[in-house]
Amino acid sequence: MSDPHKRLDDAMNQRRLELGLQWRDLAAAAGVSYEALRAIRRGTSRPADLTARRLEEALHWEPGSVRSALAGGTPIVREPDPESSPAQDPGLLPGEALRLVISAAAQKLGLGADDLEDVFQAVRRDLAETEAAQEANHADPAPYGTPDLSAMMLAARLAAGLSLEDVARLTAAAPGTPAALDAGWLGRLEGAALAPDEFPEYPQLDALAYALNLDPARVQEAAGVQFMNVHSVWSDDGQSRAVGVGPVSPEDHQKLQALLRMYRRAPRK
C-alpha cells in the first residue's frame, strides 16, 4: 500500500472505531461496496470525488478531509450543531447512541460500573472475532499480486463513477472491438457469476481495459487469476515475470523474487 493510502486507511480506521462502526457498516453508510472500500484502503483505487464526499459524510468529516489525508494532512471532524438535542440531531454518532442505550439498559438492570467493564471486554472480544472472520471470508484472492478481474473491474468502475451501461457504451469505441460488450454480461462478470462458456477472451478484455482506462496487460493477468488460477510475480524492476498455477504464498513470493533477480537482464555496456 502506498504511503498516502496508508495514511487515509489509518485515519478512516481510527474514526470508524470512534464511531463504533465496522468496515462493512462504513461501506454501507457511504453507499459504496465493501470491495470498493477495500480497494481504496489498499491503494489499488483512488476514490472519486463523489465517493470521497460520501466517505466524509459517513465519517462525519469536513468536506475535503479525504483529499487532505491523501496529501498528508489530518481529516477534520465535523462538529455537531450545539443547538440541536440528541433526539432531534440527525447526525447523532453511532457510538454516542450506543452509549445512551447501554447506560439506560444498565440502569434498568441495576448494573454497576464494575459489571459493565466485564461486559465491555466480552463485547470487544466478540466484535474482534466477528470482524476477523469477515475479513478472512472476503480476503483478497491474490494479496501478493494481481486481484481477480471482477474485483479490478468493480473498483475501476466505481472510481470512475460509471454505470454498467456506461462501460458497455465505452467498449464500442475500443479499437478492434466488433461490437459493444453487453451490460448484462458485464454485470455477471463483475459479480463473478459468468458461466464457463461466457469467460472473456482477448478482444473482450482489451475492450474492457479501454473502457475503464486500465492497463491491458494487468487486465489479462487478472483474468488469468480468476478464470485459470494462474498468478504472476514480477521482478522489482518490472522487467521479468514468473507465472505459476495457484496462489503464491508470501514465502514463495520472496523465493520467486530472488530467482527473478538472479536471472535479470545484465545492463548493456
pLDDT at 96: 62
HEC string of 207-221? HHHHHHCCCHHHHHH
What number of other Cβ atoms are within 10 A of residue 120's Cβ? Answer: 11
Domain ranges of the chain: 3-70, 99-137, 149-262
CATH topology agreement for domains 3-70 and 149-262: yes
Cα 87 from Cα 97, distance rounded (Å): 10
Instruction: Give mean pLDDT, residues 115-123.
Output: 75
The model's pTM: 0.41
pLDDT in tens, 51-107: 889 999 999 999 999 998 888 888 999 876 555 444 444 455 556 666 677 777 777
Residue 187: closest CA among 229, 219, 157 = 157
CATH architecture assigned to 3-70: Orthogonal Bundle (1.10)
Within a 10 A sphere around the Cβ of 160, how many other Cβ atoms? 15
User: In whole angstroms, how far apart are CA 268 and each of 148, 260, 263, 265?
Assistant: 36, 18, 15, 9
Find where cell 464457463 sits.
196
What residues are paired with 77 via a beta bridge? Answer: 61
Residues found in the chain = 269
Spell 165-184 as b/e; 16+ CB within 10 A means b: eebbebbeebeebeebbebe
Average pLDDT of span 141-148: 48
How far apart, in whole angstroms, are the C-alpha atoms of residue 101 and residue 137?
31
Model pLDDT for residues 152-182, shown as the tens digit of each residue: 888 888 888 888 999 999 999 888 777 889 9
Domain 149-262: which CATH number of 2.60.40, 1.10.260, 3.40.50, 3.90.1200: 1.10.260
Residue type, 180: A
Strand locations in the chain (E): 230-234, 241-245
Query: What percentage of the chain carries pLDDT values higher than 90?
Result: 14
Q: Could you give the CA distance from residue 42 to residue 28 in angstroms, rounded to a whole number?
A: 18
